[in-house]
């Protein structure tokens, strides 16, 4: 039977179209992941949701990440274990808050005055070797360390003004485990609470203040209204936070989705850098809720001196911690020698 152009258009083309449609009909359901962040609902809108939305859009139905906020599926202190056993697939957190059982956990969050600016974090990880150390340490416990990035500095925001180190003595402060360990020498009483309970704890008197964030998060979380005194001297210039994933789940992803996730999370780190950098300055100048206070130079010098002693104390705990401390020391020494604008 001769096939003419007309008969092909009316019969053959239909068959070809049906054949082309078959793979779409047979396409498997999208890969589903659950990621929980350390951040509460309002903060998560800024620090992680844009990256998750971008990933889900570009993945184009092949994969979807469901985002859960602080303590929504598991308490923040159980995030590591939940990810390790596969209850959740991925986490955004610092090492310290999620109780990571690794040698590098003490450096997550705020390691006192190891960092001055947000760019110090990616510089240390991508140029000074910390990224490889973190990847190796987490691989030992079945976790993929995807990437590290910077958040805001750690400042006190308090219910009463702080104008000297003595004003901190006896104050109950919501903070990170390592920061609390460091600050205890100044009389601070560290308190751990679920993120969403902090505002109420400030209102009821359970807390006197926070050493958990910079001024951008104080306003974003609503803490600026219940703890309206902001101490401009920080105890660390940038928070180290990470994206992690269960190693088996990560390895099961096709390479292009691994690369897409890496790229979207890297973009998330970049977005936070400018969001915090702009916010910290603008809210100090224009923010209406908070009154700024500062320590005398001699008091802040005591904090700096104590931070360096703390580094040496941590370095004695293991060879790996000593290696990380040595990198931090060499990095900061290089920045000081480089001068302005690296260090003032």
What mean pLDDT value characterizes the chain? 93
* 114 C-beta neighbours (distance < 10 Å), count: 25
Please report, rounded to a whole number, the percentage of residues in the chain having pLDDT higher than 70. 92
Q: Kindly state the average pLDDT of the residues 202-231.
A: 97
Is residue 10 situated within a structural domain? no
Instruction: Name the pLDDT band for 27 (thresholds 50, 70, 90).
Output: low
Does residue 187 sit in the same domain as residue 293?
Answer: yes
Is residue 14 situated within a structural domain? no
CA distance 191 to 176: 8
pLDDT at 23 over 60: no
- Bridge-partner residues for 63, per DSSP? 31
Does residue 109 sit in the same domain as residue 77?
Answer: yes
Instruction: Name the pLDDT band for 151 (thresholds 50, 70, 90).
Output: very high
CA distance 275 to 308: 29
Q: Kindly state the average pLDDT of the residues 76-104.
A: 97
Does residue 78 sit in the same domain as residue 167?
Answer: no
Is residue 66 situated within a structural domain? yes
Q: Kindly state the average pLDDT of the residues 6-19.
A: 42
Instruction: Name the pLDDT band for 188 (thresholds 50, 70, 90).
Output: very high
Does residue 164 sit in the same domain as residue 306?
Answer: yes
Q: Kindly state the average pLDDT of the residues 184-208.
A: 96
Is residue 343 situated within a structural domain? no
Is residue 12 situated within a structural domain? no
* Residues 6 or more apart whose Cβ sits within 8 Å of residue 93: 37, 38, 76, 79, 241, 242, 244
Q: Kindly state the average pLDDT of the residues 40-53.
A: 97
CA distance 82 to 40: 18
Is residue 19 situated within a structural domain? no
CATH number at residue 39: 3.40.190.170
Does residue 185 sit in the same domain as residue 246?
Answer: no
What's the DSSP call for residue 146?
A: E
Does residue 142 sit in the same domain as residue 252?
Answer: yes
Is residue 191 situated within a structural domain? yes
Identify the burial level of 127 via C-beta atoms within 10 angstroms of its C-beta, where 0-12 means exposed, 13-18 middle and 19 or more buried.
Answer: exposed
In this prediction, residue 324 carries a pLDDT of: 98
Does residue 103 sit in the same domain as residue 49?
Answer: yes
pLDDT at 6 over 60: no
Does residue 117 sit in the same domain as residue 197?
Answer: no
Q: pLDDT tens digits, residue range 225-262?
A: 999 999 999 999 999 999 999 999 999 999 999 999 99
pLDDT at 9 over 60: no
In this prediction, residue 28 carries a pLDDT of: 80
- CA geometry: angle at 76 spanning 73 and 78, to 5°? 80
Q: Are strands 63-68 and 31-37 parallel, antiparallel or unpaired?
A: parallel
Is residue 4 situated within a structural domain? no
Domain that holds residue 260: 30-153+238-283
In this prediction, residue 14 carries a pLDDT of: 43
Q: Kindly state the average pLDDT of the residues 320-324.
A: 98
pLDDT at 19 over 80: no
Does residue 227 sit in the same domain as residue 251?
Answer: no
First to last CA, the chain: 87
Does residue 247 sit in the same domain as residue 165?
Answer: no
If one counts the domains in the chain, the total is 2
pLDDT at 1 over 50: no
Does residue 70 sit in the same domain as residue 161?
Answer: no
Q: Kindly state the average pLDDT of the residues 314-337.
A: 98
3-class DSSP assignment, residue 33: strand
Q: Kindly state the average pLDDT of the residues 269-276.
A: 96
- Bridge-partner residues for 66, per DSSP? 34
Does residue 58 sit in the same domain as residue 160?
Answer: no
* 27 C-beta neighbours (distance < 10 Å), count: 10
């Amino acid at each position: 039977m001769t096939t003419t152009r007309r008969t092909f258009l009316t019969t053959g083309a239909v068959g070809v179209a049906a054949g082309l449609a078959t793979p779409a009909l047979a396409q498997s359901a999208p890969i589903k992941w659950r990621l929980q962040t350390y951040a509460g609902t309002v903060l998560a809108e800024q620090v992680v949701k844009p990256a998750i939305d971008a990933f889900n859009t570009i993945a184009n139905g092949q994969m979807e990440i469901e985002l859960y906020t602080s303590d929504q599926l598991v308490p923040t202190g159980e995030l590591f274990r939940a990810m390790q056993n596969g209850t959740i697939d991925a986490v955004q957190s610092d090492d310290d808050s999620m109780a990571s059982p690794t040698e590098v956990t003490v450096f997550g969050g705020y390691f006192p005055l190891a960092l001055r600016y947000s760019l110090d974090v990616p510089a240390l990880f991508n140029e000074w070797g910390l990224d490889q150390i973190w990847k190796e340490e987490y691989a030992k416990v079945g976790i993929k360390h995807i990437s590290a990035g910077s958040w805001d500095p750690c400042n006190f925001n308090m219910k009463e003004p702080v104008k000297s180190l003595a004003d901190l003595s006896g104050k109950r402060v919501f903070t990170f485990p390592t920061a609390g360990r460091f600050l205890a020498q100044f009389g601070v009483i560290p308190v751990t609470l679920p993120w969403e309970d902090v505002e109420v704890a400030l209102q009821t008197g359970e807390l006197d203040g926070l050493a958990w964030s910079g001024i951008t998060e104080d306003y974003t979380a609503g803490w600026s209204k219940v703890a309206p005194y902001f101490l401009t001297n920080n105890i660390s210039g940038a928070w180290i936070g990470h994206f992690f994933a269960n190693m088996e789940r990560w390895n099961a992803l096709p390479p292009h989705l691994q690369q897409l996730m890496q790229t979207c999370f890297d973009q998330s780190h970049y977005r936070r850098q400018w969001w915090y950098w702009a916010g910290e300055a603008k809210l100090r100048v224009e923010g209406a809720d908070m009154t700024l206070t500062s320590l005398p130079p001699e008091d802040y010098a005591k904090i700096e001196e104590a931070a360096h002693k703390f580094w040496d104390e941590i370095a004695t705990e293991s060879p790996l911690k000593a290696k990380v401390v040595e990198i931090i020391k060499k990095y900061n020494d290089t920045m000081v020698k480089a001068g302005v604008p690296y260090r003032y």
